[in-house]
Chains A and B, each alone.
Chain A
Amino acid sequence: MSTTARTRRRAALTRFRRQYARQRAGLYGVAILLVAVLAALLAPLLTDPSGMDVTRATGARMAPPSMDFPLGTDESGRSVALMLLWGARVSLLIGFMSALLSMVIGTVFGIAAGHFRGWVAAVLMRVTDWFLVLPALVLAMVLAAILGGSPFTIILAIGVTSWASTARLIRAQTLAVEARPYIERSRALGAGHWHVMTRHVLPNVAPLVLANTTLMVASAIVTESTLAFLGAGSGQVSWGTMLRGSYDWGAATSGAWWYVLPPGLCIIAVVLAFTLCGRALETVLNPRLRGAS
């Protein structure tokens, strides 16, 4: 790679960073996310996972917050604070992985639908439109019910049902990119479909994909909690399954707010953070929107 290219890239990155720094809400989002991801990554170093084993739990059942248990205990005497930390790992993992899956499907469909012409594009768009209008949650519930509950199946259920809007966005962008003269030049020079799609289109749509994926993580985390609440849990402690647990064990009616509120607030904080980041990225990366926020 030539030096000029590298310099240009570095300059672009600096410009991006500067523009992003102007998005105040986006910065808040990044800060919250950093805290959440750090907490999730450090949980195994800072805390003892045996606290998650019910047979080794030390607290009383549904005890209010105290010195030992800053956020009280759950129905088996486990620390709610500890479960929040470990739950962050599963919630974020499911959020990231299903967004990743959805991004991959969406990008492949989007680029292919924008690049190819004729019946291939028509079929791809028909399928995309189909997934776009279908009620994703309902479809995800059916999938989760049929596949059974594990983190993997939940990721699959969310990923498979949420990629359509990404595909549409990427397709529009692909059409715009392919209209540029240099693509035609490269075609004239003998570049194949694969070359055009991976070398020219993909780098150009990548920023948009990034912004879109960030928004996708947000909705995936909410969907995971909803699935867990409606009975299609992953079988692991996540914020969603904690909320389900607080419901099953009557935390709300018996006044155990420390078990009901924190997982919900954590979901709100992280989802809001992803949304803010996603919107900020969109604003920075998409010139059409720059004026509009």
Chain B
Amino acid sequence: MVRTGTRLAALSLALSMATLLVAHASPSAARTSQTSQTAQGAPQAEKRIVRLGATQSMDSMNPFLAVRVVSTSIHRWMYGFLTVPDSKTLKPGPDLAESWETSPDKLTWTFTMRAGATWSDGKPVTAQDAAWTFNKIMTDDGAKTANGPAVENFDTVTASDDRTLVIKTKKPQASMLELPIPIMPKHVWESVPDIGTYENEVYPAVGSGPYIAVEHKKNAYVRLKANPSYWRGAPAIDELHVIFYENPEAAIAGLKKGDIDWIGRLQGPQFEALAGDANITQWNTQGRRAAYLQFNPGAATADGEPIGDGHPALKDVRVRQAIHHAIDKKTLVEQAQNGLAVPADGSIIPPMYQEFFWKAEGEAAVTFDLAEANRILDEAGYAKGADGIRTMPEGGRKLEMRFSIHTDEPVEDKIAQYLTGWLKDIGIQLTTRRLDSNKFTEETGSTALYDIAISGWSVNPDPEEILATHLCSRRPTASGEGGGTESFFCDKEFERLYQEQLVELDRPARVKLIKQMQERLYTEAPVVAIYYPNNLEGYRKDRIASITPIPEDNGILYGGSSYWPVYTLRAVERAAAPAGSGSGIGTAVVVGVVVVLVLGAGGFLLMRRRRVSADDRE
């Protein structure tokens, strides 16, 4: 039996190993070629490598398609943009465009492209490349996936010569200098037959950013090399590896152990687990995200036809304000975010954007006050019934509402647990509905089948987009197609302010208008901001010598809209024990372990054999 079992096991093992060999024949070939490349440059010193952990994997290497944070970040490191946020002020600064000007009617933008910038294959970066990129997105539906909306307002884009790019827009567009679109090399991409299905798995990739992707092992890692011909000069490290984890707990274990050097976008619990580790720097700064509740304010389509089944009480701004009073934001920060967020006294723009940030002060501020909430509801005529649940003033319908959250989101679950408790105290019965993100988007964005829902937004340096999500025109069409509303809000005053700021190119005046819009959102309360989660990251001090955040004062390392942090990365120089021999030691240990196991197994079998023959002798 032992033999049969062993034989079976050996056979299956051999089979699986064969599978493995076949499955990896091509990648290992690729690896060999890379090894030979490195072998050519072998005499040089120890490579400076930084390994970044990410808790998602690449959705696509094609920037026209990629939408995940990890992918757009890597693409920001691989490709130049027209403009990039200034590392200190976050105001738009030059990148591939050196300078720009607008026509008096604010409809024509002329960009002067950088002289001397080259693609990593040596060809110069020209206005033709930029024009090709924008035109491709404007004309090819397949290329619209990632950044279609950003060019919606474009009329024409032309390159009048190699260094001059002219963009004509249909309406004035203030966010023109924060286009989220990487400029792609025309000479490489022109020949791609169908952008919408192209994978862009060609290495080394041709780019113009500080790093070049040289290898992508799907669902495992991306290997980036410093771009020696980068126009600012090559970064100070040789390689940047981005390593994908599916399991955030494993990623934290990996950071503590040294399998990775840096990880961003942490949740509170994972961040706290890093505390007390002498080798790890905990990075806790203001974040760019706002978390808020959406109330169904009597949803309607863009034409004003009522849709959905929102609770009628929520049409009453007093009910919305009363609920606002029943939210203890400090406790939510404490409990749902491990204290690692800022309770929101303002609206949907987080305090990280000091310039645009607005918050309610003094009398205007809504505080956690259940008595006040009860008073407002009593006064408004929503009387409590025998069961403690209020009814509509005209009687009949009880204040029983649904709270829509996403499935598989522990933080939202926690918020739901607290909110249910507090609203019970003010006579509103809340039941939690967990929806997958498809249904959630559909029910809170187009069909309006919700009462209260949770949402959030990662705000860009220019807040235009988040403000636009509360416009009348963003409400769905009559046939139910969503326009991207975050609240079904439709308010004359808000619309007026929006249109004014859109054409106001004087920055302080525009900032003032944007603050007024936030105040309007705060008092009308179609949405109520709960908190602004901090940006939580961690990195190993013994591997990363220094890294500059964006903005440089107290900013973000991973996931911001700039390559600045990875560009300024410096690895700890290691003289004594180079990493290469470290992995050599690792391999040696493995070989040792395997040898011991094999010997042990052999010895065991031998012993059994002897015992068996002893049995036989009886």
Contacts and interface: CB of A to CB of B under 8 A. Distances in A.
Q: Do chains A and B touch in the complex (CB under 8 A)?
A: yes
Interface of A: 53-56, 61, 75-76, 145, 148-149, 231, 235, 244-245, 247-254
B384 interface: no
Given A61-B335, A149-B434, A253-B249, A54 B418 contact: yes
B417 A76 contact: yes
A250 B273 contact: yes
B408 interface: yes
B272 A53 contact: no
Contacts of A148: 434
A55 B252 contact: no
Contacts of B42: none
Contact of B269 (A54, A75, A235): A75
Contacts of B500: none
Interface in B56-73: none
B190 interface: no
Given A245-B410, A248-B269, A145 B436 contact: yes
Contact of A250 (B269, B414, B417): B269
In this complex, the member of A54, A56, A61, A235 whose beta carbon has the largest number of chain B beta carbons within 10 angstroms is: A54
B421 A55 contact: yes
B407 A250 contact: no
17 contacts: A53-B421, A55-B421, A56-B421, A75-B269, A75-B335, A75-B414, A76-B335, A149-B407, A149-B434, A235-B434, A244-B410, A248-B410, A249-B269, A253-B249, A253-B253, A254-B269, A254-B272
Given A53-B421, A244-B410, A250-B272, 4 more contacts: A61-B335, A235-B434, A247-B249, A253-B273
Given A231-B407, A250-B272, A54 B432 contact: no
Nearest to A249: B269
Interface in B262-277: 267, 269-270, 272-273
B558 interface: no
Contacts of B292: none
B31 to A, nearest CB: 32
Contacts of B252: 250, 253
Nearest to A146: B436
Contacts of A231: 407-408
Contacts, number: 55
Nearest to B253: A253
A222 to B, nearest CB: 20
B421 A253 contact: no
A161 B50 CA distance: 47
Interface of B is mostly: helix
Interface residues of B, number: 23
B358 interface: no
Contacts of A75: 269, 335, 414
Interface of B: 248-249, 252-253, 256, 267, 269-270, 272-273, 335, 338, 407-408, 410, 414, 417-418, 421-422, 432, 434, 436
A56 B335 CA distance: 13
Nearest to A56: B421
A37 B541 CA distance: 52
Contacts of A250: 248-249, 252, 267, 269-270, 272-273
A72 to B, nearest CB: 15
A249 B434 contact: no
Contacts of B272: 250, 254
A258 B572 CA distance: 38
A244 B410 CA distance: 9
Nearest to A53: B421
A248 B267 CA distance: 9
B349 to A, nearest CB: 29
Contacts of A56: 421
Nearest to B334: A61
A149 B406 CA distance: 11
A251 B273 CA distance: 8
B432 A235 contact: yes
A149 B273 CA distance: 30
Nearest to A252: B249
A247 B269 CA distance: 10
Given A231-B408, A254-B269, A254-B273, A54 B434 contact: no
A149 B418 CA distance: 20
Nearest to A248: B410
Contacts of A149: 407, 434
A61 B333 CA distance: 13
Ranked nearest first, the 10 interchain pairs of A and B with the lowest CB-CB distance are: A250-B269, A55-B421, A248-B410, A253-B273, A254-B273, A231-B408, A54-B417, A249-B269, A253-B252, A250-B273
Contacts of B267: 250
A60 B419 CA distance: 20
B430 to A, nearest CB: 12
A272 B410 CA distance: 30
B414 to A, nearest CB: 7
Contact of B421 (A54, A61, A252, A254): A54
